[in-house]
Amino acid sequence: MSERNPYRPGVGLQPAYLAGRDDEIKRFGRLIGGSPEIPGNARLSGLRGVGKTVLLQRFKDVAEEATWSAISFEIQPRQNSESNLMSAIQSHGERLKESTSIAYKARSIAKGAADVARSTVRVSYEGFEWSLAGDLEPQTAELGEMLADLTQFVVQHGRKGLALLLDEAQILTDEKGSSGNHALSTLVAAVSTLQKAQVPVVVVLCGLPTLAVNLLNARTYSERMFQGFTVGSLPPEAAEEAFVRPLESSAISADPALVASVLDEVEGYPYFIQLWGAELWDTAHDAGLSAMDEAVLSVTRDRVFRRLDSDFYEPRIDSLTPAEQDLLIDAARCAYPPLMVSDLNGQSPKSPGNVNVLLGRLVKANVIFRRQKGQYEYTAPGFVDFLQRYSSRQN
């Protein structure tokens, strides 16, 4: 029996058991399987800590199992420009080419050259004779060519296509007007052009719920290009599996009454499940107990919340200005969800104009997102409860 804590609270850490995402994984498998004849892309979105990054990693596995090549990386704020996005894709592409040709050589030796030669013939196709329509923006054409070149390379090396998986893609936002950065619409337009020419390329954009609006603003047709995968809290059965299954390899078990209490407290949110599990397991382990029960929960709960605040919530507000933090403390007194601007104006001593400016900055800092006119939501689940704990500590 393993003596290591089986839970994995963290950022993008694969859990011991990925619960409740079978439908999404199957659906993505169908998307890859249908491409390029049925072109498709995915938009994977949800709040902080719901498990987008770990699901994106699974999507990458699905693509690779279907003999596609994959490039995946997390978008950095500086990459929100055509040229920086392109150089990021380029450098990941170079690495992919290197590993693809090494793997190809290894396969040719292992399988015998004849086999590989046959598969090369099978995948050679005309798709790459796509011509650049005269009305393509130069940047779109450049990115399109780069992706076509990469796809061609991997196909010539026995893969079926290229999947591009971008995490934190809500960072890509087009500036208004024709000047400025348009990394998102350049990407969308390049991929759309390639897919029309049946080039086997698939894009997955993963990020906060604002992704959908950004895409719509980038290109009106993008809505039809991307299948939406919205992930959120796990339904009760899956949440229970997420909590209980990791214990299968552990000497410590969970009492049914404790499971019920934990499920009640975590509201199905994957990060919380891992955090509660990790802390409860440590308490039981340190005390030499063979089961986690409600007594363990009652002595651990304070520590759970301290860690939740310091690891999950506080980093989101530490970098904000005092005025932005003050506005959040005012917001903690408002009914939720959603956060109504009219309500916030009633709770805050700041002028409506100032409140609006600060809300805009909180959107930029990814703390909140605009749901519709006059209504906002927090990007992290449970944030309003945290704000209440935080503001009571300030007083």
Ligand X SMILES: Nc1ncnc2c1ncn2[C@@H]1O[C@H](COP(=O)(O)OP(=O)(O)OP(=O)(O)O)[C@@H](O)[C@H]1O
Look-up of token digits 């005309």 = 126
Contact window for ligand X (CB under 6 A) among 23-31, 100-108, 256-264, 267-275: 267-275
Q: Which is nearer to ligand X, 43 or 160 (CB)?
A: 43
Among the listed residues 36, 39, 48, 164, the single contact to ligand X using CB under 6 A: 48
DSSP lists the bridge partners of residue 291 as: 253
Residue closest to ligand X when measured from CB atoms: 51
Smallest gap, in angstroms, from Cβ of residue 55 to ligand X?
A: 7
Instruction: Output helix, strand, coil percentages for the chain, rounded to the nearest 5.
Output: 60, 10, 30
Q: Which residues pair with 45 in a beta bridge?
A: 207, 230
Partner whose footprint covers residue 20, from Mg ion, ligand X, none (CB < 5 to 8 Å by kind) = ligand X
137 closest CA partner among 234, 218, 47, 249: 218
- Which listed option, Mg ion, ligand X, none, makes contact with residue 13 (CB within 5 to 8 Å by class)? ligand X
Nearest to 202 by CA among 231, 174, 229, 176: 229
Check residue 9 for interaction with ligand X (CB under 6 A). yes
170: contact with ligand X by CB under 6 A: no
Does residue 292 touch ligand X according to CB under 6 A? no
Give me the 272-291 binding string for ligand X, x by CB under 6 A, dash otherwise.
Answer: -xx-----------------
Give residue 299's identity as a one-letter amino acid code: V
Q: Tell me if 50 contacts ligand X by CB under 6 A.
A: yes
User: 321 Cβ partners below 8 Å, 6+ apart?
Assistant: 361
| Cα pseudo-dihedral 74, 308, 324, 168, rounded to 10 | 10
Q: Which residues bind Mg ion (CB under 5 A)?
A: 52-53
Half-sphere exposure of 302 (CA within 13 A, CB side): 1
Q: Which amino acid type is present at position 86?
A: M
Q: Which does 160 bind (CB under 5 to 8 A by kind): Mg ion, ligand X, none?
A: none
* Closer of 93 and 381 to ligand X (Cβ): 381
Binding site for ligand X (CB under 6 A): 8-13, 15, 18-21, 46, 48-54, 242, 270-271, 273-274
